[in-house]
Every structure is written in C-alpha cells, then in structure tokens.
Amino acid sequence: MAIYQATASAPVNIACIKYWGKRDTKLILPTNSSLSVTLDQDHLRSTTTSRADPSFEKDRLWLNSAEEEIKEGGRLSTCIREMKRMRKEVENKDASLPKLSTYAVHICSRNNFPTAAGLASSASGFAALVASLAALYQLPASPSELSLIARQGSGSACRSLFGGFVAWEMGSKPDGSDSLAVEVAPREHWPDIHALICVVSDDKKGTSSTSGMQRTVETSTLLQHRIKYVVPERMEAISAAIRARDFDSFARITMQDSNQFHAVALDTDPPIFYMNDVSRAIIALIVEYNRVAVAAGGKLKAAYTYDAGPNAVIYAPKENLKEIVELIVKYFPQAEPFKDPFALFGGAGVQGRVVD
Ligand code: DP6
C-alpha cells in the first residue's frame, strides 16, 4: 500500500517595502507592490508535512500539535482547494497517476518559534503549506506559480516561496493571475547583509494586519498618496540598490518605508499604533549610530524596519553587527542577545538574535 506524504519548510520574510492594503480581500490582491528579504537560517521557519490517503474522511490541519478548524471558504480551505485543482489538471493529462486530488489530506505544521511572538508566522506557515502540498502532488509548478496560491492564504506568504530578495508584483488583472512573487536577487548575490531581530514584546498584537490594513484602506488619505506616488518609485530604487549591493540606498529606502507604513497606520481612523516607546528608542539609537558614521565621512551602517508590531528588525552588513549588538546591550541592559533562539521570546525588554 503506497504512502503519499511530503514535507517542506519555509522561512519568515521581512519586508523593506511594506504591503499594506488590499484591493480585493477575497483573492488577497494588494494596493501596492512590496519587497522583502527572506531570512535563511534554521530558526524562524515553518515545517509542514502533508499526507493524502483514501481512508481520510476530511481535510484536517494541526498547527504546533493543536488542531485548527478548516473553515469552508476560509483561507486554508482556499489554498487546499487550489492545490487539489492543480493536481487534478496533472491527473487529467496522465491517467496512470493515483487520484490524489480525490483524497482528503492531513496536514501537520510546526513553527520553530512562538506563533504569537509578533513575527510573521502566517508568511512562513502558508508558504510551507503550499510547498508541502506541491511536493505531495508532484506539481510541475514554479515558485512564482505557487506564490499565487500562498498569496490567498496570507499576502506576505507569497514572498516566502523564494529565498533572498523578493518582490511581490501587485499585478493588474482582476483574477489576480499576475499578482505574484518574483526573485529580485538570490541570497548569494549579497550574502553580506544580515538581520538582527530585536523582540521588544512577545505579546499577541493588538490589531491584526488583516483588519488593520482594511481600516487603513477605508479611512486613510495618506495611503492613497503612498500607493500612487511613493511605492512605485521606491520599488525601482530599492531593486536597483539590491542589484548594485548599495547598502546606503537600501538602508535609506527601508527606513523611509517603515516610517511611512507606520504613518499610514497613524492616519487610519481610529489610529493604529504598532510601535511602542522601546521601538522608538531603538529607532533613535540607529539614527544616531548612522549620523555619527555619516558625520565622519562614511555611509549608513544599519537600517531598522518594523511590521505590524513593536519588534525591530535591523538590517546591516556583517562587519557592523558586533558593534550594533553592543550598542543595543548597552542602552537596553535587559537585552539578552545570542542565547538559544527560544530564549529570545522570554518576555519584556529587547532581546536580540542575529539571523543570516
Ligand atoms: C506589515 O500578509 O499578514 O507585515 O494578507 O491579511 O494575511 P494578510 O496580511 P499579512 O500582512 C503583512 C503586513 C506587513 C508588511 C509586509 O509583510 O509586507
């Protein structure tokens, strides 16, 4: 009796140009393109095993050992349905293949970091889900094609199908068939860039990305300016900076875009505050660190960015990391860098971890 099972894993990605706003909430089509860096060490990953069997009665999913409901018409069921549809197309072309598209699946997913830590677990989670089903079904699909499905699980998940530097092109077709992830440059193109994650708080966030961005679309006039006049140019400029390995431009654009994303959150009615006093203190530290470097005739040495929560991600060339960690530890004495990755999430205070 054959066993049909496959395992895949996907890492978290952190955006430099932020996705914030949907033009179609069902298909998850964004109001602007975005660009991220996929973190590539072993921690901050989701690993997912999918199994198809004729004896299974219905699709089921376990996340970190607890069963999650697969709601009819919800994001999980959409992704599973779309992957089965792709499998069916393959089966239609080759009658000798087992009819896996007709079997129910059991899916088991695990994050090697706490799900509620304010890090992008839905991005790695849906990317790993889609990758494991693609392996199970032996689909001849490219990462960009799979990104079309992962996008419908969580927008940012489409970018975790690739490593390195990844753009999510917003596309223009109403059916979303051109709203997909593409590689800007592989990781090996610029291995010198590292990310330092500072977990400021591991509380579950107050306003979810999904509801927060919807409120922004409905109420913020600044978002309209951002979509039309700011992001298209920034996408071009940061892609060029990545291709040229120009950290100064990359850092400047990354910080500007994080700032504008949080300004747009503040411009939402009622306003959304994702950063807290510690987040702002880290910004002040990085600004001062860069100011001193530039005043001495040098270039920017680090870039901060914040998603929909208070935790900082600091991008920097490897040679500056030691200095940055020392600064963080000096000004945030409760910080505990370089421990076991799980110690990161111990509680309040800034805790850091260097991630390649
Ligand atoms: C601030 O991808 O979590 O991290 O599509 O509703 O699931 P949904 O939202 P999600 O939003 C991520 C927002 C962000 C910016 C980014 O990753 O680009």
Encoded tokens for 12: 């978290």
pTM (predicted TM-score): 0.93
Query: What element of type H or E holds 163?
Result: none
CA distances to 107, 205, 243 from 254, in Å: 36, 22, 15
Q: For residues 21 and 218, what is the distance between their CA atoms, to the nearest angstrom?
A: 9
Query: 297 alpha carbon to ligand 1 midpoint, in Å?
Result: 37
Query: What element of type H or E holds 255?
Result: helix 247-266
Quick one: which of 301, 141, 307 has its CA closest to 208?
Answer: 307
Res 110: pLDDT: 93
Antiparallel, parallel or unpaired: β 303-306 and 193-199: unpaired
Ligand 1 binding pocket mutation candidate from 168, 207, 209 (most atoms within 8 A of CB): 209
Res 95: pLDDT: 95
Res 197: pLDDT: 85
Ligand 1 lined by 18 (C-beta under 6 Å): yes
Q: For residues 289 and 60, what is the distance between their CA atoms, to the nearest angstrom?
A: 50
Res 112: pLDDT: 84
CA dihedral 140, 144, 149, 153 (to 10 degrees): 140
Q: Please tell me the residue having the least CA distance from ligand 1 atom 7.
A: 154
Res 244: pLDDT: 98
- In this prediction, does ipTM exceed 0.90? yes
Neighbours of 78 (CB within 10 A): 17
The H-assigned helical ranges of 69-208 are 75-93, 121-136, 143-150
Res 330: pLDDT: 87
Per-residue pLDDT of the chain (356 residues; tens, 9 = 90+): 789 999 999 999 999 999 999 999 999 999 999 999 998 766 788 999 999 999 999 999 999 999 999 999 999 999 999 999 999 999 999 999 999 999 999 999 999 876 655 666 789 999 999 999 999 999 999 999 999 999 999 999 999 999 999 999 999 999 999 999 999 999 999 989 988 888 887 666 588 999 999 999 999 999 999 999 999 999 999 999 999 999 999 999 999 999 999 999 999 999 999 999 999 999 999 999 999 999 999 999 999 999 999 989 999 999 998 899 889 888 887 665 544 333 232 222 233 334 43
